[in-house]
Amino acid sequence: MLKQRVITAILLLLVLLPALFASVPWPFAAFTLIFVSAGGWEWGRLNGAGSFASVALALLVAAACAASWAAGWTRAAPPVLWWLAMGLWVLGGAWALRSGPAGWGTLAPGMRWALGLAVLWLAWLAMAGARARGLNFILSVFSVAWVSDIAAYFGGRAWGRRKLAISISPGKSWEGVWSGMAGVLLVGGLWVLADRAWAVDSPSVYSRLLSSLGVLEMILVLVFLTAMGVVGDLAESLVKRHAGVKDSSGLLPGHGGVLDRADALLPLFPLALALSAL
């Protein structure tokens, strides 16, 4: 299993890193469009769609992304979309986590498919828009998810006692969540100092929040973004619980599926764009 994970990670990085660090934004947009469309196929399979309907959902995700790309929204999307995403994740996420896997199954399949389409499209549009803002900006948004995940893992192992959502993801603890938030705040402070010390192609999400909101507000927003990354992770786990599967697919050997790797990013990117523009 470890060998599979390492090989898959290396192959992904061989494609992702050149696309991410390219001098123009479109290679990253193209790569993530394919990635997110595969997530649409997984979403259909997790939510009762047959083979044909799952492929159709993937194609709809790809078509929505391509249409918004052609319209120029990867450079300047209507801001209302990010607030729509926030409402969807805050209200919908709260309902889903409160209702649990059983409650998720009470929604009509068509509604679940439509929610997946909206969430994946908005996440892709936000990722492409973040890359268009600059490499430093998108890396800083990625860091919120990466640092939170790493700090939560080690904090949970060291101090985890109180379970966060035992019926959805038994391994997660409140102590892990607090550790993740502390890690993001620490990295955020260091990133602001790095922005000031070195020439960067764009302000990071941390510097944008600090300059537009102030220190206290930046801390509150970063705590909120970290919490919403956890909501994204739990929401995907909830859907898998309802479907009775461990992984969203086997597309990434050793890692599971696309949604397993991108769950925290789905709410994080649209919300980061909304809040960094305040």
The pTM (predicted TM-score) of the whole model is: 0.94
Full domain range(s) for residue 87 = 2-276
Q: SS3 for 169? A: strand
* Residue 35, amino acid: F
The DSSP-derived string for 204-270 is -HHHHHHHHH-HHHHHHHHHHHHHHHHHHHHHHHHHHHHHT-SSS-SSBTTTB-HHHHHTTHHHHHH
* Rounded-to-integer distance, Cα 18 and Cα 14, Å: 7
Q: Measured on CA atoms in the order 263, 267, 270, 276, is the torsion positive or negative?
A: negative
User: What's the pLDDT at 6?
Assistant: 82
* Residue 108, amino acid: A
Q: Which pair of structure tokens corresponds to residue 54?
A: 């799952």
* Residue 79, amino acid: P
User: What's the pLDDT at 226?
Assistant: 97
Task: Count how many domains the chain has.
Answer: 1
User: What's the pLDDT at 134?
Assistant: 95
Q: What is the mean pLDDT of each run of 10 residues along the chain (278 residues)?
A: 80 91 94 96 94 96 97 94 95 92 92 96 97 96 96 92 88 94 97 95 96 96 97 95 93 90 95 92
Q: Which pair of structure tokens corresponds to residue 85?
A: 């995403």
Give the CA angle between residues 123, 126, 127 to the nearest 5°. Answer: 85
Burial of 16 (0-12, 13-18, 19+ CB in 10 A): middle
User: What's the pLDDT at 167?
Assistant: 83
Alpha-carbon 250 to chain mean position:
19
User: What's the pLDDT at 2?
Assistant: 66
* Rounded-to-integer distance, Cα 36 and Cα 59, Å: 10
